Structures are given as C-alpha cells and as structure tokens.
Amino acid sequence: MRTETQAIDAATLSRYDDLGKLVLRLALGLMLLLHGIAKLVGGIGFVTGALQKLGLPEAIGYLVYVGEVIAPLLIVFGLWTRLGALIVAGNMIVAVLLVHTAQLFALSATGGWELELQGMFFFAAVALILLGAGRYSIGGRAGRWN
C-alpha cells in the first residue's frame, strides 16, 4: 500500500522527468537550429559540393534544411518530437558518412572524440526517440502529436 509521501514523491519525480525531457528537447533543438540558420544565411555549397564529389545529385543537399531547421523546430515545440528526432539522427548519420568519415575514430588535440558534437546530436536524438516530448510540449505527455 502506497503512503501519501510515496504518492507525492512519484508526482514530483514525474514532473522532474518531464522537465528533463524539456531540457533535452531545448538543448538539442536550439543548438542544431543554429547550424541550420547558418546554412540558411550562408548557403549549403559545401554540402552540395560533397554530394557532387560522390556523384550524388546536389538536390539531396537541400534535405539538410529538413534535418537542421524543420526537425529542430519540431523538437523544440514538442510537435511530432519522435519524428523530428528520427530525422535528426538520420541527418547525423548522413553527415558523418558524407563529410566526417576520416574523423570517425580520431581524437582531437585535447583528447576528445573528433565527432563529439555529431555524436551528442545523434545520441540526444535517439534519447528523444525513446522518451518522447513529455508533458511540456504541444503534443502533451502522451499526446497524439508526441
């Protein structure tokens, strides 16, 4: 039998759980969105150039806007969060395969992984795929749009 203290603790923990999801969503979404805004302002010439070197159509490069602008906005607002996170995870895999394969097993001068930024974006996205948006979102805790 649960006591009143246990019920309060469970409610408090649930609230912290949802706050943690909000922090994760905002961190991933806003940091990645800055990369997308830079590409909106400065263009994606380096992305289309990398695709061209591989013999792939340059038009594929415009999908970077989906992965670095639209998906982060979905994540920040908590609307179709799991879909947005799936797009981000896929975007990071493609970025590593197209641009960063030489750094995959490399360490930086300070001893960190060369791809730690891409790794953090990828694993934060995977966490959101598993967790969902939480209560503090447009989709709601168990909402249809979460």
Instruction: Convert the pLDDT of each residue in 110-136 to its tens digit.
Output: 999 999 999 999 999 999 999 999 999
pLDDT at 15 over 90: no
Which of 22-26, 42-46, 57-61 has maximum average pLDDT?
22-26
**How high is the pLDDT of residue 98?**
86
Q: Residue 1 has what pLDDT? A: 55
Residues in a beta bridge with 89 = none
What's the distance, CA 97 to chain centroid? Answer: 17
- The Cα–Cα gap between 126 and 132 comes to 10
Rounded to two decimals, the pTM is 0.87
Q: What b/e sequence results for 4-18 when a residue is b if at least 16 CB atoms lie within 10 Å of its CB, and e otherwise?
A: eeeeeeeeeeeeeeb
Q: How far apart are CA 133 and CA 71, in angstroms?
A: 13
- Judged against a pLDDT cut of 60, whether residue 77 lies above it is answered with yes
